[in-house]
Structure 1
Amino acid sequence: MKNKYESLELGQFIPLHYHHNMLNDTARMQGFKEAIDLLVKPGTKVLELGGGTGVQSFFAAQKAQKVYCVERNPELINAARNLLAQNQNGGKVELIQADAMHYLPPEPVDVVICEMLHTGLLREKQMPVIDSFKQRYLKKFGEPLPVFVPEASIQAIQPLEHDFHFSGFYAPTIQFQNPYVIQERSKGLGDPEVFQMLAYAEPYSQTCQWDGEILITEDGQLNALRLITKNLLAINVTTCSTIDWHTQYIVFPLPESMQVSKGDQIAIRFSYQGGAPLNALTDSLQVRLISKQTPVLELALEALNQSAESQPEVVENAGVR
């Protein structure tokens, strides 16, 4: 059954002013420009799914022979048309008003750009759009598939102690964080744990899920989890390096906080569909303290003491070199 609110979801229609603000995101702009410049060769044909202002199609048009730019929102189509007309090689871009979930170009393409990205691969339709495109493209044109920008996404989860007080007002709500600055409100209680590695050219599940454990490395009050999504925009096989871009971190408050100590283990479980609303993660989320690890040194000393009790003569005669 179709969700009656689907057309209001961020992944369906992002307001025009959001796209204008994206042009100010230097990390995003420079990352995609560098990746597109690397992967789009002179004379190639390019498809962009979800073109927005047309900026990434503009990057591609500097080398490509032809760029097909698909955008569903008529307001954005008009904005992109006006902006591309003011930029070099903008005439190489053909704007098509269509749903990226169903559109196919009239000919094979070499590169597909799709930036329907949100942290956690939530809300926006990156996963279903690319999966749908691949199935329909292979049926119409056969192999090989085009190269995708981004080529892959890596997702991780991290336990946090987070300050949810705002000028004296306590509000444990979902928070967004700039991944490129120090977050003074957050204290990491453990290292980020990777739960998904997704290569867009390969087959993948539509489900984002994890059922695992994280080691607590700092004492604190566990009251939140941070979701991290790192996108590999392009992989340079010549230099064995990647061009990366992090979407904003998302901090999810936990319904109940718990005191944890260094050496504890916490179990985390969740499962949601790519493109689902933010609450799809919190609705399925389970977090529990499962054990407190005994430090390795204590284990070693305990074993040594047990050995000394059972074999005192061996310990007395043992030397240290």
Structure 2
Amino acid sequence: MQNKFESLELGQFIPLHYHHNMLNDNIRMKGFKEAINLVVKPGAKVLELGGGTGVQSFFAAQKAQKVFCVERNPELVDAARSLLAQNTNGDKVEVIQADALHYLPPEPVDVVICEMLHTGLLREKQMPVIDSFKKRYLEKFGGPLPIFVPEASIQAIQPIEQNFHFEGFNAPTILFQDPCAIQERSKSLADSEVFQLLAYAEPFDQTCHWDGEITLAENGQFNALRLITKNILAINMLTGSTIDWHTQYIILPLPKPFLVSAGDQISIHFSYQGGAPLNALSDSLEISLVSKQTPISQLAFETLNYPSDFQSTTSGQSGGL
């Protein structure tokens, strides 16, 4: 039996006020505007899956002949129609209330925009929606596939030491970080390690997984993983450059923190389905210390208490990629 909150948990009904926050994200907006302007050619036909307020369909409509904007949430369908009517070339956009997982346009399209993205490709349905679309599109229209925006996603993890004390309150919980801001409460213990490179036009497995080892570069308390997702919005073949956008980093606390030294090796294993709830990664996460340069003491989760004067020694730089 389907959980009545499943749509909310998996990003199917993101409320309108959350989209206002996305509209206010200048880096996200400029990146998608630049990418869409690059790949949409004059007279093109475009499909947007999960259109939200319709802003990306608006970007496409400045060059496209026709844009199909698919949105499941009735509130957002009404908002998109109203907003597009107030903007130049908004009349080129047809807003359709439908489930992006099952919708196909009435004719072939040149570009597909799908920003159903969350860090780790968790929670939102980017992977299953695009995979389903490609199979059904090829069955109905044959090839070639349209260009996808974004074109690819690169995923990485990074071991860190994270200060989970907030005004004396110890709270080792999932945290989110702005990828463009200095994170003074985080200390990187090693470079980020790429575990997935996904090109949306190519066949891909909907499982996100990794089973490998990382050699630590810093001494510290390994008590969290930073999850990084970098999205390649478009590739400019003329300049040999990419238009990129990072979703927010996720900080996942470990159930058993370790005191570690530079040169130590840690083993990390996880496996989850794209679009699964946030806890799918942490529930499958297995971490162990496979080699140690010096004797260590392992802190039990039940007795985890940091000193009140805990300070990070890092500059708080972003996670990499």
Query: Is the aligned partner of 1:270 residue 2:270?
Result: yes
Shift of 1:292: 2.9
Instruction: Summarize the alignment of residues 137-216 of structure 1 with structure 2, pairs less than 5 Å apart.
Output: 137-216=137-216
Separation in 2, partners of 1:252, 1:24: 26
Q: Deviations over 1:14-53 (max 9, x none)?
A: 0110001100101100000000000000000000000000
| Equivalent residues of 2:155, 2:196 under 8 A apart | yes
Cα displacement (A) at 1:10: 4.3
Which residue type is aligned with residue 104 of structure 1? L
Q: In the alignment, what sits opposite 1:69?
A: 69
Letter in structure 1 aligned against 2:229: T
TM-score calculated relative to the size of structure 1: 0.90
Written as runs of structure 1 = structure 2, the 5 A alignment for 1:111-126 is 111-126=111-126
| Rounded Cα–Cα distance in structure 2 between residues aligned with 1:185 and 1:207 | 31
Task: Using the TM superposition, give the Cα deviation of residue 11 of structure 1 relative to its aligned residue in structure 2, in angstroms.
Answer: 1.4
Matched with 2:297 is: none
Aligned twin of 2:290: 290
Q: Which amino acid aligns with 1:68?
A: F
Question: Which residue is 1:317 aligned to?
Answer: none
CA contact (8 A) 2:216 2:263 kept: yes
Report the secondary structure of 2:201's partner residue. coil
Aligned to 1:303: none
Alignment partner, residue 219 of structure 1 = 219
**Which structure's residues are more often helix, by fraction?**
1
Aligned partner of 2:105 in structure 1 is: 105
Letter in structure 2 aligned against 1:133: F
The whole-number CA distance in structure 1 between the counterparts of 2:102 and 2:293 is 51
| Alignment correspondent of 1:128 | 128
Deviations along 1:93-137, whole A, 9 cap, x unmatched? 000000000000000000000000000000000000000000000
Structure 1 CA distance for aligned equivalents of residues 49 and 2 of structure 2: 22
Q: TM-score, normalised by structure 2?
A: 0.90
Cα distance between partner residues in 2 of 1:79 and 1:168: 43
Q: Percent identity?
A: 80
Tell me by how many angstroms 1:237 deviates.
Answer: 1.1
CA distance in 1, matches of 2:89, 2:259: 58
Q: Which residue of 2 aligns with 1:309?
A: none
**Per-residue deviation, residues 241-261 of structure 1 (Å, max 9, x unmatched):** 100000000000001110010
Look up the match of 2:18: 18
1:112 corresponds to which letter in structure 2?
Answer: V
Uncovered stretches (5+) of structure 1, i.e. residues with no partner:
295-321
Distance, in Å, in 1 between the alignment partners of 2:177 and 2:77 is 30
Give distance in 1, aligned partners of 2:20 and 2:10: 15
Separation (CA, whole Å) in 1 of partners of 2:28 and 2:8: 25
* Greater relative CO (CA pairs within 8 A, separation 6+): 2
What is the CA–CA distance in structure 1 between the aligned matches of 2:6 and 2:171, rounded to whole Å? 28
CA RMSD of aligned residues (A): 1.0
Alignment correspondent of 1:243: 243
Q: Which residue of 2 aligns with 1:82?
A: 82
Question: Hey, what's the Cα distance between the residues in 2 that align with 1:4 and 1:71?
Answer: 20
Counterpart of 2:188, as a letter, is G
CA distance in 1, matches of 2:64, 2:293: 57
Shift of 1:4: 4.3
